[in-house]
Amino acid sequence: MCVAVPGKIIEINGNTAKINVMNNITEADIRLVSAKPGDYVLLHAGCVLEVMKKDAAEELIELFQELGETV
């Protein structure tokens, strides 16, 4: 249901932000989050859904650390 992609906020202008997704700059609405330039965010349908608490690579490393602990 949810094609969403991570990107980085470059600048904020009121209710919209310019998001950099691997050097593609697109505008998105940021009213659903409290974010600042430099934050990594999740982008869906021209809207920022959430600020990322850690980056994707870090998350994968921790995922397997956690799974290892349940063994």
Partner 1 sequence: MITLEQVIKELGSYDGRPIKIMEVCGTHTSSIFKHGIRSLISPKLELISGPGCPVCVTSALYIDKLVEYSLMEKHCVLTFADMLKVKGTTMSLTEAKAVGGKVRMLYSPLSAIKLAKEEPDTQFIIAAVGFETTTPIYALIMEEVIKSNINNIRLLTSMKTILPALTYICDNEKGIDAFLCPGHVSVITGSRIYEELVMKYQKPFVIAGFEGEHILGAVYEIVQQITEGSFHTKNLYPSVVSVEGNKKAQELVEEYFEEVDDDWREIGRIPSSGLRLREKYHSYDAGSSFAASQMDSPKGCRCRDVVLGRIHPVDCPLFHKVCTPMNAIGPCMVSTEGACGIWYKNGGKNQ
Partner 2 sequence: MKINMSYGSGGALTSKLIHEVFIKYFNNPILNRMEDAAVLKVSEKIAFTTDSFVVTPMFFPGGDIGKLAVCGTVNDLTMMGAIPKYLTAGFIIEEGTELSEIEEVARSMANTAKEAGVKIVAGDTKVIEGNGGIYINTSGIGEIVKTGISVAHCRQGDVILVSGNLGEHHAAIMSKRMEIENQIVSDCAPLTGILKELMKEKVPIRFMRDITRGGLATILNEITDSSHCGVVIEEGNLPVSAEIRGFCDILGLDPLYMANEGKLLAVVPKAKAKRALAAMQRSKYGKNAVILGEITEGNSVTMNTRLGGRRKIDLLYGEGLPRIC
Binding residues (CB under 8 A) for partner 1: these are 1-4, 28-29, 31-34, 42, 44-47, 49-50, 52-56, 58-60, 62-68, 70-71
Q: Is residue 56 near partner 2 by the rule CB under 8 A?
A: no
| Cα-based distances in Å from 56 to 35, 41, 59, 60 | 18, 11, 5, 6
Stretch that binds partner 2, among 22-30, 33-41, 56-64 (CB under 8 A): 22-30
On the CB side of 26, CA atoms within 13 Å amount to: 16
For residue 41, the tally of other CB atoms under 10 A from its CB is 23
Contact footprint for partner 2 (CB under 8 A): 1-3, 5, 7, 21-27, 43-45
